[in-house]
Amino acid sequence: MDGWRRRLGAVVGMAVIAGVVLLGAGTASAAAIYAPVDREQLDRYCRSEGFAQASLRTGNAYGWRCDGPSGGRPVDMDGVCQASNRTPTPRISRLTDFHNPYGGWECWNTASSVPRAAVGADGLAAYCRGEGYVGARLVDSTAYGWRCTSSGSTAYISMRKVCQSILPGSVSLIDRVANYHDPYSWKCYQ
């Protein structure tokens, strides 16, 4: 009887551990990062859209186009991410480095392709005050131009932390800029 209880205990223990591992995997996949978008994914997407290939026209992450004999158009990075998705989970693209056309994009799984919140000037100012600064200021005209300010000093703002302050208690938040050239285009996804 004692050996039977030990075996049962081991089986139950292993089932609990497996359940925790599976729950952890499920939670992580709600916002799991995938490898950066690569050239092969871009070419495959463009061919699926009826074009010959992806071509880099300018030296930044926005420079990709689908080209063919009859013309071309800019690459839809959300389309690239969805085309490489093998699950029903929504997937969005995320710009990580505007100046790097070969590694400036990532694909993320999200709970929804609809943002949970927009990041505006008021939210940025509130975040900066919570961090001990006076407010937020735009130091250049790009989405990455926001800084916390206080008596002549400035500090870089982590938009992921801003999203966490706007949506406290949310897990797996993704900060995403819709347009590098628009400082007011930040959104928070989960």
Supply the pLDDT for residue 113: 79
Residue 33 structure tokens? 């990062």
CB 107 within 8 A of CB 125: no
CB 71 within 8 A of CB 33: no
Look at 18 and 104; give whichever has higher pLDDT: 104
Burial degree of 84 (CB within 10 A; 0-12, 13-18, 19+): middle
List CB contacts of 89: < 8 A, sequence separation 6 or more: 29, 30, 109, 110
- pTM of model > 0.75: no
- Asked if residue 5 has pLDDT above 70, the reply is no
Backbone φ and ψ of 17, nearest 5°: -60, -45
pLDDT, tens only, 32-49:
556 578 999 999 999 999
DSSP-H helix ranges across the chain: 2-29, 39-48, 77-83, 121-130, 159-166
| Cβ atoms within 10 Å of 157's Cβ, excluding its own | 21
Average pLDDT over residues 103-108: 90
Q: What's the whole-number average pLDDT of the chain?
A: 81
Give percent of the chain with pLDDT exceeding 70.
81
Q: Which of 158, 159, 137 is nearest to 148 (CA)?
A: 137
Rounded Cα distance, 108 and 177, in Å = 13
Rounded Cα distance, 82 and 80, in Å = 6
Residue 73 structure tokens? 């158009």
> What 3-state DSSP class applies to 187?
strand
